Amino acid sequence: MASPLERYAELKTAADATYAGWRTPQRPRIDVAIDTSSLANGARATRDAIEANISERNAVVDLGRVHGYGMQWLHPLVTITFPDGASVVYGPVRAEHAALIVDIATGAKPATSTLAIGTIAGERAGIPSLREHPFFALEPKTGRRLIHRLGFTDPENLDHYIATGGYHAAARMLDRHQSPAQVRQELIDSALGGRGGGNFPAGTKWNFLATAPGEEHYVICNADEGDPGAWVNRVIMEGDPHLLIEGLIIAAYATGSKGGFIYIRDEYPLAIARMEQAVRQAQEAGLLGEGVFGTEMNFELRVIRGAGAYVCGEETGLISSIQDSRGMPRVKPPFPAGAGVFMKPSNVNNVETYANAPMVIEHGAQWYLEYGTERMRGTRLFSFSGDIQRVGFMEIPFGVPLGGVIEACGGMLPGLQLKAIQSGGPLGSMLPAREVPNLSMENAPFSALDALMGGGGIVFLSDRICTIHMAEMFTQFVEEESCGRCTTCHGGNQRQTEIIRRTIAGEGRHEDRHNLALIDRTLQFSNCVHGQFSPKIVRNTLRFFSDEYERHSAGRTCDALECEGLIRFRITNQGDPRLAEAQDICPVAAITGTPGRRTLDEAACIRCGACTDVAPNAIVREAKPATPRLVALS
Ligand SMILES: Cc1cc2nc3c(=O)[nH]c(=O)nc-3n(C[C@H](O)[C@H](O)[C@H](O)COP(=O)(O)O)c2cc1C
């Protein structure tokens, strides 16, 4: 019977041939980046237009797909790979550029074009290497580790994964009869920490499961990624789905698990589709199911579509949801290693945590330790968004300064100043720009400020944002997403939201600060972290944006002109033809009248701002004149 490495070699030989034909194709190939961010930026229309152009002209060009490279502000991205193996990335490529792209691919036009961003393989005179782009300045000099396949493989092709070294770590682990304990020790030595935000050592957690009683153990992947501004798990699942599967095979072997679940949030349809497809491919290739790589290891892996609730990201809520029960966190202990899915011992890790395991097993703990800091080892994927010039994701070593990140992202959009950074999602934090010099990309400096770095997403907020308005958005979200099990959480969050909402409505009260602090203290008694962390953003706002809070509450002004109760809209130019459009778009018909005689009814207006968006020269958004306040008679 063939050993796992012999089986792997067979798969690899076939995969190498397929991949070589793809890397250095006989005919030029145009790969459109197909991932959620690209699709949201019109990649489907770009692809359709290129396809139509190729067929109209009968061009000798193939069409393929890759995952984007991280430069999401330049989406839709397109890569042309020429028969000599050179690959050039172009963007943003819109449908109207289809003919140009096909011309470049066929050689009718030079590869240099204003749309050319850089080469990712080979050379083309006049086009720099993509790695020289300042956006990648903070990535490891020796190249990407976790996401090295992005842009270089078709994520839907198992052969591409295998040809680029995929599944070798799992095959070798099984072939060498490396014991589960040795695998866990390698993980412990690598100091790989949980990427869900807590940085809990993955190897130690795997030990809990491995040593738990009973035969029926499960590994569970938390892919519920719900924080706004965080999409790093999605990148892994859409860009390199087999990496996650290989990580789960390693975890299953190390913990003696025969079953596994990948719980993916409902809002990630492409990630779900790609993961389901990859699981099928792995099953057909004998890498999952009965007899993994021809060994005695059995491992059934299932993809579960999430229930669409934020709190299902909390591990016990997630377990409950997998069982088809309502997604409600429960009190811990028992922890999942004691009583997990179907009350059986289970291990829950984040997508990126599992996805790091093949690297650790392939290259060893020492290799893994090369990057990062004393407290947080390795590299991690971050997504950066907000009012910055370059929105996208990058893989950076822990510990790089946040100031360097802002530089790599090209700084703020023209005319805007950085005001705050939001990290860790709705249970996370909001820190002012003045703290940026004190922050590096690891948990400790954030914790020192009572903040959270979180699960990989950082949003840069400019001075056009009102932090109290932002806090209201988060408090409302956390209130709605409270599972309702404990009164402390759902009642406390209702009260917190009421106060913040009243503040932005221009009705802040002197006693609000005191009451918010009281609610904060009470919420610490919630059953789970959802309730316990829910007052964090408000607490940050009161501490770091105290002046702004006071101006809302006592001064009745919102400097950013965002808070509904403190602003109004006024028609200033009756002659502007766009007023008609503004009148049409108003969802509550607050603008009435005929050309030259239009009026805006302040009482009916809901301050959505749609009118001034379409007619910026005719309608102003301004501070509402102060109304006299009742003063107690002495
Ligand atoms: C309300 C709430 C939502 C959470 N959402 C996620 C999530 O989307 N992804 C995640 O990995 N962890 C999330 N967590 C943390 C998980 O409970 C758990 O700690 C994590 O999946 C462990 O994985 P790790 O050790 O690999 O970090 C959430 C926690 C809470 C309280």
From-to residues of CATH 3.40.30.10 in the chain: 21-131
Residue 276 structure tokens: 């389901």
Query: Angle CA(463)–CA(469)–CA(471) in degrees, nearest 5?
Result: 105
Helix axes 269-284, 241-255, angle to 10 degrees: 60
For the domain spanning 564-623, the CATH number is 3.30.70.20
Q: What is the mean pLDDT of residues 427-438?
A: 96
- Distance between CA atoms of residues 572 and 479, nearest Å: 39
- Distance between CA atoms of residues 166 and 175, nearest Å: 15
- What pLDDT was estimated at residue 336? 97
- Distance between CA atoms of residues 464 and 386, nearest Å: 11
- Distance between CA atoms of residues 350 and 153, nearest Å: 23
CA 228 to ligand 1 centroid distance, Å:
14
- Distance between CA atoms of residues 389 and 405, nearest Å: 12
Contacting residues for 247 by C-beta, under 8 A, at least 6 apart: 353, 354, 355, 356, 357, 358
Phi and psi (nearest 5°) for 28?
-60, 150
From-to residues of CATH 1.20.1440.230 in the chain: 468-553
Answer yes or no: CATH 3.30.565.10 is held by domain 379-465: no
- Residue with the smallest CA separation from ligand 1 atom 8 is 225
Encode pLDDT of 245-297 as tens digits.
999 999 999 999 999 999 999 999 999 999 999 999 999 999 999 999 999 99
364: left (phi over 0), alpha (psi -120 to 50) or beta: left
- What pLDDT was estimated at residue 176? 84
CA 311 to ligand 1 centroid distance, Å:
9
Q: What is the mean pLDDT of residues 344-369?
A: 98
- Distance between CA atoms of residues 492 and 522, nearest Å: 7
- What pLDDT was estimated at residue 629? 57
What percentage of the chain exceeds 70 in pLDDT? Answer: 99
- What pLDDT was estimated at residue 633? 54
- Residue with the smallest CA separation from ligand 1 atom 23 is 349
- Distance between CA atoms of residues 193 and 349, nearest Å: 10
Ligand 1 proximal residues by C-beta, below 6 Å: 194-196, 198, 200, 222, 224-226, 310-311, 313-315, 348-350, 353, 455, 528-530
- What pLDDT was estimated at residue 25? 97
- What pLDDT was estimated at residue 177? 75
Mean pLDDT of all residues in the chain? 96
- What pLDDT was estimated at residue 634? 44
Are the CB atoms for 61 and 99 separated by under 8 Å?
no
From-to residues of CATH 3.30.70.20 in the chain: 564-623
CB-count exposure of residue 273 (10 Å: 0-12, 13-18, 19+): middle
Which atom of ligand 1 is least distant from the CA of 315? Answer: 17
Encode pLDDT of 218-249 as tens digits.
999 999 999 999 999 999 999 999 999 999 99
CA 488 to ligand 1 centroid distance, Å:
21
Task: Answer yes or no: is pLDDT of 478 > 60.
Answer: yes
CA 429 to ligand 1 centroid distance, Å:
16
CA 247 to ligand 1 centroid distance, Å:
18
CB-count exposure of residue 626 (10 Å: 0-12, 13-18, 19+): exposed
CA 314 to ligand 1 centroid distance, Å:
5
Q: Count CB atoms within 10 A of the CB of residue 589.
A: 10
What percentage of the chain exceeds 90 in pLDDT? Answer: 96
- Distance between CA atoms of residues 328 and 309, nearest Å: 10
H runs (alpha helix) in 107-179: 158-163, 168-175
Task: Answer yes or no: is pLDDT of 27 > 60.
Answer: yes
- Residue with the smallest CA separation from ligand 1 atom 22 is 349
Element (H, E) at 36: helix 36-40
Four-way CATH pick for 468-553: 3.40.190.10, 2.40.50.140, 1.20.1440.230, 1.10.150.310:
1.20.1440.230
From-to residues of CATH 3.10.20.600 in the chain: 379-465
Which atom of ligand 1 is least distant from the CA of 354? Answer: 26
Give the residue, out of 350, 443, 486, with the most ligand 1 atoms within 8 A of its beta carbon, to mutate for a pocket test: 350
Task: Answer yes or no: is pLDDT of 115 > 60.
Answer: yes
Encode pLDDT of 562-615 as tens digits.
999 999 999 999 999 999 999 999 999 999 999 999 999 999 999 999 999 999
- Residue with the smallest CA separation from ligand 1 atom 13 is 313
Task: Answer yes or no: is pLDDT of 631 > 60.
Answer: no
Q: Count CB atoms within 10 A of the CB of residue 7.
A: 22
Give the residue, out of 222, 248, 265, 530, with the most ligand 1 atoms within 8 A of its beta carbon, to mutate for a pocket test: 222
SS (H, E, C) 376-445: CECEEEEEEEECECCCEEEEEECCCEHHHHHHHCCCECCCCCEEEEEECHHHCEEEEHHHHHHCECCHHH
Contacting residues for 505 by C-beta, under 8 A, at least 6 apart: 563, 564, 565
- Distance between CA atoms of residues 154 and 32, nearest Å: 10
For the domain spanning 21-131, the CATH number is 3.40.30.10
Answer yes or no: CATH 3.40.50.11540 is held by domain 165-368: yes
CA 147 to ligand 1 centroid distance, Å:
21
